[in-house]
Amino acid sequence: MSTFSTVSLLPGLLNETVTLRGWIRAIRSSGKIRFVEFRDGSGTCQCTVEAIHPEAFAALEHCGQETSLAVTGVVKAEPRSPGGVEVSVTDVSIYQIAEEYPISRKEHGVDFLMQHRHLWLRSPRQEAILRVRHRIISAAREFFDLDGFTLIDTPIFQPGAAEGAGTLFDVDYFGSPAYLAQTGQLYLETAAMAMGKVYCFGPTFRAEKSKTRRHLTEFWMIEPEVAFYELEDLERLSENFLSHIVQSVLQHNRADLEALGRDVSLLETIQAPFPRLTYSEAVELLHNPALHEKLEQELAAEQQRCKELNQSITDLEHQLSQVSKAWKVEKLKKEIQELQDQVKELELWISNQPAHIEDAKSFEWGHDFGGDEETILSKQFERPLIVTEYPKEVKAFYMKENEADPRTVRNLDVLAPEGYGEIIGGSQREDDLDKLLSRMQAEGMDPEPYQWYLDLRRYGSVPHGGFGLGIERTVSWICGLKHIRETIPFPRLMGRMQP
């Protein structure tokens, strides 16, 4: 047999002899037959090796989890196999025998898994997330590519700050200071003046000391920038863009989402148009007594649910005291553990919520929304929420002033549903040279290093704008994850660089 097949192709190869190359996810032995849970990156299938093939049978004698091997055998429809298909193996060729693979099929702690991230990636859950991540990225690029955008790569070493300087990673660039990119935007604006519709996709770096479930120090961002686009155009672009991504994932990765336990019905509603609020309307909503009442009711309902969960735990513990079979005890213990985790999460939410409600009531126009305000606002809608026209003071210098209300700028944030927070931030850009200069002056910025950027306002300035989508927060939302660390193969977090 000179050609190789993959697990994903097996349903189309019934009764044919195939050779697969991959790894042992698990192996069980039952006297004269061995069952190999075989994975090759394209999928998982069960392989059986019977003692009537003595060489193949013996070859698997001492093979542990993650042993690499090639198997040859006949593909059979088999209802007793988990996937409905299995390979009846006649030949086995071992690449390498793996001994004592550290990640067992039982539960592990976060620290241990993060230290073994390079091996953790082989687990079914991580595979599913990686596939969804890939789909999100390819759908995002497909959306722009089909709409006449040109990909422009912007530099990662940058001479200065586009955002707050306190959050830049500085590097020594042959004796001169340089910084890792926080955004490709300024460069992308120049490219939009050349190509009209452009986007960049690359890693960005933030030195924020944020130790939360939604912050990475290195994350990937895809940023479109379009000449002649104004705020309303950006709103439409963002909702069509997100809808396309979500629908693409639903079309291609439904099995992955289900493996992750994602409530897919919540994603099916994600279609343009999205709800829109101006910042001022959002502040009014936060002050609305009807909202406060709704939040109070929600709090009471969750407190009730917490009580019910505690009751269930008590019931299970009672059952536990009457059960003696080892496997049943294990099962009950696990159920109890899961409920206890839920209660913990719920109690945390319940303890934070009164302060969040107070924050909403006392929120003053002019401040930026914190995570709690974002969560409250986004939870009032099933679809992502577009919030526009924030106060000038809390936003970046390059954002275009709003003519109708000069206290605000022509920007937009898109907040993901279910409390996943801001996934898109962007704006129409200030295209008037004098206004841009006076804005920079007001921020205490030296215009000298930005002359190249200011040239755009000197030579054929036009209205334009763009936004950035954070890939990892999008993955987190679409997969329904609790923590952003699982959204990227090798997360860089405050205080964690290994492996």
Footprint (CB under 7 A) of RNA, residues 326-345: 326-327, 330-331, 334
| Residue selected from 58, 194, 348, 442 as contacting RNA according to rule CB under 7 A | 348
CA distance 497 to 499: 6
Give yes or no for residue 33 binding RNA (CB under 7 A).
Answer: yes
Smallest separation (angstroms) from RNA to the CB of 111: 3
Q: How many residues bind RNA (CB under 7 A)?
A: 78
Q: What SS3 state is found at 190? A: helix
Q: Please, which of residues 469-498 interact with RNA by CB under 7 A?
A: 470, 483, 495-496
Q: Does 99 bind RNA (CB under 7 A)?
A: yes
Counting contacts by CB under 7 A, is residue 290 touching RNA?
Answer: no
Please state the φ and ψ torsions of residue 295, each to the nearest 5 degrees: -65, -40
Minimal distance, residue 287 CB to RNA, in Å? 19
**Residue with Cβ nearer RNA (77 or 301):** 77
Residue 412 contacts residue 399 (beta carbons within 8 Å): no
Report the residue number, 110 or 290, with the smaller CB distance to RNA. Answer: 110
Residue 354 sits in the site that holds RNA (CB under 7 A): no
Query: Mask 240-279, x = binds RNA (CB under 7 A)?
Result: ----------------------------------------
Which range binds RNA by CB under 7 A, 13-21, 76-84, 266-274, 306-314?
76-84
CA-closest candidate to residue 295, choices 137, 419, 458, 453: 419
Distances (CA, A) of 190 to 199, 227, 457, 468: 11, 10, 10, 16
- For the chain, the C-alpha Rg in angstroms (whole number) is 27
- Our finding on whether 413 is near RNA (CB under 7 A) is yes
Indicate if the alpha-carbon torsion angle 150, 154, 160, 164 is positive or negative.
positive
Is residue 50 at the binding interface for RNA, with CB under 7 A as the rule? Answer: yes
We find the least distance from the C-beta atom of residue 431 to RNA, in angstroms, to be 19
425 in contact with RNA (CB under 7 A): yes
> Under the criterion CB under 7 A, does residue 58 sit at the interface with RNA?
no
Residue 68 makes contact with RNA by CB under 7 A: no
Q: Which residues make Cβ contacts (< 8 Å) with residue 48, sequence separation at least 6?
A: 33, 34, 35, 36, 86, 87, 88, 89
The residue from 9, 14, 82, 145 that contacts RNA (CB under 7 A) is 82
**Residue 1 or 77 having the CB closest to RNA:** 77
Distances (CA, A) of 183 to 161, 163, 179: 9, 8, 11
In the complex with RNA, which residue's Cβ is closer, 307 or 331? 331
Sign of CA dihedral 112, 118, 123, 126: positive
Q: Which stretch binds RNA (CB under 7 A): 121-129, 377-385, 433-441, 467-475?
A: 467-475
Is residue 73 close enough to count as binding RNA by CB under 7 A? Answer: no
- Bridge partners, 205 (sequence order): 218
176 DSSP β-pair partners: 173
165 contributes a contact to RNA by CB under 7 A: no
Contacts of 152 (CB under 8 A, 6+ apart): 184, 187, 188, 191, 195, 198, 199, 200
- In the DSSP assignment, the letter for residue 204 is E
> Is residue 444 near RNA by the rule CB under 7 A?
no
Please answer whether residues 122 and 23 qualify as being in contact, where contact means their C-beta atoms are separated by less than 8 angstroms. yes
**At 89, is the secondary structure helix, strand, or coil?**
strand
Q: Of the two residues 53 and 252, which places its CB atom closer to RNA in the complex?
A: 53
Can you tell me the distance from the alpha carbon of 219 to that of 121, in angstroms, rounded to the nearest whole number? 18
Cα separation, 374 vs 419, in Å, equals: 7
The interface with RNA within residues 369-388 (CB under 7 A) comprises 370-372
Among 82-90, 240-248, 316-324, 435-443, the segment contacting RNA (CB under 7 A):
82-90
Closest CB to RNA among 268 and 490?
Answer: 490
Report the half-sphere exposure of 440 (CA within 13 A, side-chain side).
19
Is residue 118 involved in binding RNA (CB under 7 A)? no
Cβ atoms 71, 92 nearer than 8 A: yes
By CB under 7 A, residue 81 contacts RNA: yes
| Residue the block writes with tokens 């340089």 | 178
User: According to the binding rule CB under 7 A, does residue 52 interact with RNA?
Assistant: yes
* Given 217, 468, 478, 479, the residue binding RNA (CB under 7 A): 468
- In the complex, least distance from residue 330 CB atom to RNA, rounded to whole angstroms: 6
Q: Which of residues 217-236 bind RNA (CB under 7 A)?
A: 221, 223
By the rule CB under 7 A, 418 interacts with RNA: no
Residue 297 binds RNA (CB under 7 A):
no
- How buried is 287 (Cβ within 10 angstroms: 0-12 exposed, 13-18 middle, 19+ buried)? middle
Residue 237 to residue 277: CA distance in whole angstroms: 16
Q: Which of 14, 58, 62, 300 binds RNA (CB under 7 A)?
A: 62
Strand ranges inside 11-67, DSSP E = 17-29, 33-39, 44-50
Distance CA 199, CA 183 (A): 12
x-or-dash string of contact with RNA, 178-217, rule CB under 7 A: ----xx-x------------------x-x-xxxxxx-x--
Only segment of 244-252, 269-277, 286-294, 367-375 that touches RNA (CB under 7 A): 367-375
Q: Does the protein bind RNA through residue 77 (CB under 7 A)?
A: no
- Determine, following the binding rule CB under 7 A, whether residue 302 of this chain makes contact with RNA: no
Least distance to RNA, CB of residue 104, Å: 4
